[in-house]
Structure 1
């Protein structure tokens, strides 16, 4: 039989997270004495010292640091089991939160949402539009149930769901569009490029950067298209997003000496299949089927 309890470990972790017994007690709505006693009893049961005072600062011992790494996994599993049980009790979840990269094809996404809405008419749907790493960051923060992302999810399984073509475009009156010979990298570097800013807060990257001396960075594909229409630069953009503009002649695909078209895989990501309710599972089935033609 285990001598320690989940509550003791939760209080131990709270002391670490909030920097002391009094701070932890305030945040978890317990008395300082109950938090202190729980940690002290835990130390007695385990026969190790978890904290030491360095001056006026409470710090973890080496044993405390080692046990903290292990208890994080245990507490996560406890929380996960509670979520699974909650889903079993409630049945159908009340909302569906999807983090989707702006470059992901809209038609299959909107059709999937429409089909899910018909099946579950009372569901609240939240579409969180992101750029690059942003979709997976929201998923990992628990702010989304599913992400449709151009990146695989680290330390988890990612499902390859479709491929999106990107083309390099400029306005029809841009100097690059009027070039008589195929463009090289050196030609491109001499003009302004419009780059998409990663919407993630922690880990960011810019897509399609070629090393141009001039660069404007925007947060949305629509902004990039508008700037390009005005002749203010060129950019790599999803072919489906600029298809109408290419057809009506307001934008033009640039003639490169090589690499005129790029392809990016998109992935269907979620963190734990056991936590997914019927609404989310329905969406997964719909989006898998509807992207088969991508």
Structure 2
């Protein structure tokens, strides 16, 4: 039998969050004596002092800091259990929000979504296209339930889905194709490169731009299709997903560059969600279908 209740732990965290007993009482709509009694119960049970008063400030002791870290996990898990219970009581979800990186093959995505829609025709599906870290960021901010992204959130949160092949390309009329020998990195740097901007909202210092070589000339765009259009129109070169540009390669609107090395690159995509137990039957079906469809891509990597 637990000697300390979740409510008492919640009062302890409220004192830390609001910066004092009186402020915590106002923040959680409890009497100040209730908050004091809850914290005193924890201190008496554990035999440690959690707070000291320094001037007008209520400050955590070293023991309090350690207890705070440990009890945070306890409260987080309790919130997850409640969320799972709510999800179970609701049954089938009414909507499914998915963030998908723009490099993911659209044919596979549409096929998976159609399979989901056939079984759950009334479920609203919201598809958000992202670049690089954007999808993982949306997962962390609870803006979507599932993300297909090149950014992994670590073990337990992300699993490998597939590898996407990239090729260095330019318009057939681009001056790079007039060079008769295989191209070096330095030769590429002297021409304009088209890169795609990270769609996450992190500061510019931590954003990444797909495939940038630090070329002397660079145009940055927000969508993969813009990059493809610019390359087709002879405005630069770029590494582009082969699955997206295959029609352009076949009708000779784009042509692969001959490079000394790294003619093709691959990018790993991850299937990411916060807590599998919180996913409803619609989300679970999408996960099964998209993983099955991507087996072929994984085997080719």
Q: How does 1:196-211 map to 2 (within 5 A)?
A: 196-202=196-202, 204-211=207-214
* CA deviation map 1:205-239 (0-9, x unaligned): 33212232233332221222233334332211111
Structure 1: state its 5+ residue gaps: none
2:110 is aligned to: 110
Larger mean Cα displacement after TM superposition, 112-121 or 260-269: 260-269
1 CA distance for matches of 2:118 and 2:157?
Answer: 29
Please give the alpha-carbon distance, in whole angstroms, between the structure 1 residues aligned to 2:30 and 2:126: 35
- In the alignment, the residues of structure 2 paired with residue 121 and residue 172 of structure 1 have an alpha-carbon distance, to the nearest angstrom, of 45
1:47-66 alignment, distance < 5 Å? 47-66=47-66
Give the Cα separation in 2 of the matches to 1:180 and 1:224.
25
Cα distance, 1:32–1:171 mapped onto 2, change above 3 Å: farther
Q: CA deviation at 1:37?
A: 4.3
Which stretches in structure 2 are left out of the alignment for 5+ residues? none
Give the Å deviation of 1:26.
Answer: 4.8
- Correspondence 1:249-268 to 2 at 5 A: 249-268=252-271
Equivalents in 2 of 1:151, 1:208: separation in Å? Answer: 15
Residues 53 and 258 (structure 1), Cα distance of their counterparts in 2 relative to 1, 3 Å cut? same
TM-superposed deviation, 1:167: 1.0
Taking the aligned partners of 1:31 and 1:244, their CA distance within structure 2 comes to 69
1:98 CA displacement:
1.3
What secondary structure is seen at the aligned counterpart in 1 of 2:98? strand
1:280 correspondence with 2:274: no
Moved more, 273-282 or 133-142: 133-142
- After superposition, residues 1-294 of structure 1 pair within 5 angstroms as 1-21=1-21, 23-31=23-31, 34-156=34-156, 158-202=158-202, 204-294=207-297
Following superposition, the deviation at residue 261 of structure 1 comes to: 0.8
What's the TM-score once normalised by structure 1's chain length? 0.89
Q: Hey, what's the Cα distance between the residues in 1 that align with 2:80 and 2:3?
A: 22
Q: Report the Cα distance in structure 2 between the residues aligned to 1:99 and 1:32, rounded to whole angstroms.
A: 44
Is the partner of 1:293 in helix, strand or coil? helix
Deviation beyond 6 Å, 4+ runs, structure 1: none
Cα deviation for residue 25 of structure 1 reads: 4.4
- CA 1:204/1:22 → structure 2, altered by over 3 Å: closer, same or farther? farther
- 1:107-146 CA-to-partner distances (Å, cap 9, x unmatched) read 1111111111111111121212211122222223332222
| Cα RMSD (Å) | 2.4
Change (3 A) 1:3 1:257: same
